[in-house]
Amino acid sequence: MASDQTIVGLDIGTSKVCATIAEINDSGDLEVLGVGRSASSGLRRGVVINIEATLQSVASAVEAAEQMAGREVHGVITGIAGGHIEGMNSRGVVAVTGRGREITQVDVDRVIDAARAVVIPMDREILHVIPQEYVVDDQGGIRNPIDMIGVRLEAEVHIITGSVTSAQNLVKCVNRAGFKVDQIVLDGLASANSVLTADEKEMGVLLLDLGGGTTDILVYREGAPYYTSVIGLGGSQVTSDISIMLKTPMESAERIKCEAGCCYVDLVDSDEPVVIPGVGGRPPLSIQRRGLAEIIQPRVEEIYRMVREKLEKKGYLGSIGGGVVLTGGGALLPGAVDLAQEVFGTAARVGRPTSVTGLVEEFRQPDMATAVGLVEFAAEEIDRSLFEKSVPDRDGALQALRRWVRNFFE
């Protein structure tokens, strides 16, 4: 982060790098000041394979955002993804030790520490520990137990872990580009922050972040994440299929996908032509747009069915009453929502970042969800820390009130 009020989010993806510079303005709203993008070639399926290429992409994206915002960037919040990401649920239990058995922030911190005390391999590290619910003396469904009276405090949490080396390589790229990494956040969590509504999280919702090299899966239930996973397939595999089937370079295949692609055959007119550039001096060819859709749909459908199979195996398919929300660059493909509704048998929509101000319509796109979500994630942490600083005064007032009541009635 460049200053106390300026926040910089950096989404380092397989196909592109996005940087977002935002600030908390005088009215307390998060306002986007600048956005920068650059092509990415140093990652494969969300993992750094070429540090030099990645740091150049990072530098280009941040420089573009700096020019738009008129701010200089020093520190960033960066996202992380890849097949190495895993999520698990855990439970912690502690005895309440405060005076009068009143639960304090110290007790909450202790029970979270107890819940995160899980055995993980040496090559993995914990990225996030997110409370799902608290239980006070067998009374469940509690979101905030502070100031309640109890003897036993339990916490259900969702723990997200990732590869130590993948995180270190990501940090090294950003550092060598000239910036400090203040925090690493899971891409899926960041995207959820910017595109999901509170009602969707409460009802149960499946977030699919359709990236270039990976598809991030996040299931929310009763307001908290319960399932996290990553599939090592994304938009790059769709482009590769087009390249192979139409015998055209990857660059041309990507352009054809973006300009004429559709992943739901029933939406396409059969007689609409698509021109395929010639290679090596050969004349260009033509294919019906429906034929192109018949190449794209099986791959996207395969990704959706892999996700559905994971949810069925874990028992979460029946928990997504709020439907499916698609984000990431893959969500821009026409027919993505229709195909999702068919495969998952529930409502679906495209998730776009709309909750921040200053973001021009050009950037209110699903492929910007992670970059915008990263600055929102950091802004929430700033708000939380400011609130916690005020807690001692609030607690002192409550204690004084309790003493007055006790003295009055005794």
pLDDT in tens, 187-197: 999 999 899 99
pTM of structure: 0.86
Burial classification of residue 138, based on how many CB atoms lie within 10 Å of its CB (0-12 exposed, 13-18 middle, 19 or more buried): exposed
**pLDDT band for position 210 (cuts 50, 70, 90):** very high
Q: Which two tokens stand for residue 340?
A: 């999702």
Three-class SS of the chain: CCCCCEEEEEEECCCEEEEEEEEECCCCCEEEEEEEEEECCCEECCEECCHHHHHHHHHHHHHHHHHHHCCCCCEEEEEECCCCCEEEEEEEEEECCCHHHECCHHHHHHHHHHHCCCCCCCCEEEEEEEEEEEEECCEEEECCCCCCECCEEEEEEEEEEEEHHHHHHHHHHHHHCCCEEEEEEEHHHHHHHHHCCHHHHHHCEEEEEECCCCEEEEEEECCEEEEEEEECCCHHHHHHHHHHHHCCCHHHHHHHHHHHCCCCHHHCCCCCEEEECCCCCCCCEEEEHHHHHHHHHHHHHHHHHHHHHHHHHHCCHHHCCCCEEEECHHHHCCCHHHHHHHHHCCCEEECCCCCCECCCHHHCCHHHHHHHHHHHHHHHHHHHHHHHHHHHHHHHHHHHHHHHHHHHHC
Give how far Cα 310 sits from Cα of 35, 152, 191, 307, Å.
35, 35, 20, 5
Higher-pLDDT residue of 113, 390: 113
Residue 3 pLDDT grade (very low, low, confident, very high; cuts 50, 70, 90) = very low
Mean of pLDDT values over 382-404: 51
- Percent of the chain at pLDDT > 70 equals 90
pLDDT of residue 201: 94
- Please determine, for residue 4, whether its predicted confidence score (pLDDT) is greater than 60: no
* pLDDT bracket for residue 28 (50, 70, 90): confident
Residue 387 binned pLDDT confidence (cut-offs 50, 70, 90): very low
Sorted by where each starts, the structural domains of the chain and their CATH numbers stand as: 1-195+365-410 (3.30.420.40), 198-350 (3.30.420.40)
Q: Is the pLDDT of residue 378 over 90?
A: no
Specify whether the CB–CB gap between 296 and 262 falls below 8 A.
Answer: yes
Mean pLDDT value across the chain:
86
pLDDT at 130: 94
- Average pLDDT value for residue range 235-244: 92
Q: What is the mean pLDDT of residues 28-43?
A: 83
Q: What is the pLDDT of residues 302-335, one digit of tens each?
A: 999 999 999 999 999 988 999 999 999 899 999 9
- Residue 408 is predicted with a pLDDT of 39
pLDDT in tens, 107-117: 999 999 999 99
Is the pLDDT score of 351 beyond 70? yes
Better-predicted residue by pLDDT, 82 or 351: 351
Per-residue three-class SS string for 260-278 = HCCCCHHHCCCCCEEEECC
Q: What angle do CA 190, 210, 176 make, to 5 degrees?
A: 60
Tell me whether strands 16-24 and 6-12 are parallel, antiparallel or unpaired: antiparallel
Q: How far apart are CA 404 and CA 400, in angstroms?
A: 6
Instruction: Tell whether the model's pLDDT for residue 245 goes beyond 60.
Output: yes
Q: Which residue has the higher pLDDT, 158 or 377?
A: 158
pLDDT for the residue numbered 30:
83
Please name the amino acid found at residue 250. Answer: M
pLDDT(399) > 70 = no
Q: Average pLDDT, stretch 190-216?
A: 92
User: Higher-confidence residue: 185 or 13?
Assistant: 185
Mean predicted confidence (pLDDT) in 204-223: 92
